Structure formats: C-alpha cells, structure tokens
Structure 1
Amino acid sequence: MIQRIQTVYLIVVILLGAVLPFFVNLWSDAAGNEIFADHAVFLSLAFYGSAVLALMAILMYKNRKNQFVMNRLNMILNLFLLGFFVYRSLNLSGETSVSEKGIGMLIPVFSIVFLVLANRAIKKDEDLVKSVDRLR
C-alpha cells in the first residue's frame, strides 16, 4: 500500500537528499565561494545514499519491519552528516567578521524529523495489523 502517509514523508526525505543539497549552499569558503554538495564527493554520496535508502524503504511497503529498519539506517547516515556539518562549522574561520555557514547544513535535521514521522506511521500501521490479527 504505497498510498500511506509514511510514503509522503519518505518522498520528502528523497527530495531533501537528492535535490535540495545541490541547489542550496552548505557553506562558504574563505574566498566567499559557495560550496554545494556536488563540490565534495563524500557529501554527494552521503546525500544520494540517504535518498536511495528512503526510496528502498518506500519500495519495501509490504514488509513494515524492514522498512522501519531501513529508516533507522537512514537516520544514522543523516546523524553522521549532521556530525560532519557541526564539525565543519566549528572549524570554519572568520566567524567574527562574516558568517560562512549555509542553510544547507540543516538538511540532515529536516531529514531526521521526516524519518521519525515516517517511523511513527509505520509503527502505527504495524500495531493496527497486530490488533486485527489478535481478533481472528
């Protein structure tokens, strides 16, 4: 059943991971050049990995337990991305004169929020199926 609410949440995660980091700057370097996800191979692979994991979770709609686990793995990947961004932002120079952080550093936070919402909806579906099985 692809028409569930967690599919909408996971589509938002796909858009956040596959599209947005390549249009929103992540940070600016000392020369003022904006850095996007396509400038760093690690970042682009991590964002694409997050999008692929969300797509795989959507396609696993028949097996809710694996879908739940796939979202947990995606959350861990986004936590690593968030940790990298925090490390990077703490090591940026010139913070007193100009802010060099971009709005794209918040993408993993939004992805984690939508993954948590998707997991709550998956858990609700799983509980509903268990309660119906109890009645049989």
Structure 2
Amino acid sequence: MLQRIQTVYLLICFVISGVLPLFISLWPNVTKKEELFTHAILFSILFASSALLAVVSMFSYKKRQNQFVVNRLNMILNFIIIGLLVYHSLNLPGEAKVSEKGIGMFLPIFSIVFLALANRAIKKDEDLVKSVDRIR
C-alpha cells in the first residue's frame, strides 16, 4: 500500500537524504567556494545509505514491524551524520576567515523529523490492525 501517509514521509526523507545533498552546500571554504557533500566521500556514503534505508523502508510496507525498525536504524544513522557534521564544522581550518555554516548542516535533522512522523503513522496502522484483530 504505497498510498499511505508514511510513504509520503519516507519519500520526503529520501529527497532530503538522497537528492538535496547534491545541490545544497555545507559551508563555504577559504576561497569562498561552496563545499558540497560530494566533496567528502564519507558524507556521500552516509547520505546515500540513509536514502537507501528510506527506500527499503518505503517498499517494505507489508511488514510494518520491519519498516519501523529500518526507520529507527535510519534515525541512528542520521544522528551519526549530525555528530560527524558538528565535529567537522568545529574543526574547520581557517575559522577566523570563514565562520558561516551552510543550510546543508540541517538536512539530517529534517530527515529525522520526517522519519519520526513516518514511525508515528506506522504505529497508528499497527494499532488499527491490532484493534480489528481483537474484534474478530
């Protein structure tokens, strides 16, 4: 059932993790050139795996418990990305020259919000199925 609301949330999460990092900058470097996620292989791998987990969760709609667990793993991965981004931004060379951060630092936070919304919708579906089973 791909028409459920959690599929929309997971699709938004896929766009945030898989498409937007290709266009949104992390921070400008010393030469005022925008630094993208594709310049750092670690961030590229982490964002690609987060997008892959969102797609896997999107198409495992028949197994709601597995979908819930995959979303939790994706949230943990996004927290790891946030930690690495914060660590990297605090250790930027030339902090006196460049102290601005890009909007790309907030992408994992937005992804976590939509994953939490998807998990809430999955939980509602699971509770609905359990209540119908109780009636029978």
TM-score normalised by the chain length of structure 1: 0.94
Q: 2:25 maps to which residue?
A: 25
Aligned residues: 136
Q: C-alpha separation between the residues in 2 aligned to 1:43 and 1:60?
A: 26
State the 1:31 CA deviation: 2.3
- What amino acid is aligned across from residue 31 of structure 1 in structure 2? T
CA, structure 1 residues 19+67, in 2 after alignment: closer, same or farther (shift >3 Å)? Answer: same
Q: 1:103 maps to which residue?
A: 103
- 5+ residue gaps, structure 2: none
Checking the alignment, whether the CA contact within 8 Å between 1:13 and 1:115 is kept in structure 2 is: yes
Q: 2:9 maps to which residue?
A: 9
Checking the alignment, whether the CA contact within 8 Å between 1:75 and 1:112 is kept in structure 2 is: yes
Aligned-pair identity in percent equals 60
Correspondences of 1:1-136 after superposition (within 5 Å): 1-95=1-95, 98-136=98-136
CA RMSD of aligned residues (A): 1.2
- What amino acid is aligned across from residue 21 of structure 1 in structure 2? P
Structure 1 stretches (4+) deviating beyond 3 angstroms? 93-98
TM-score normalised by the chain length of structure 2: 0.94
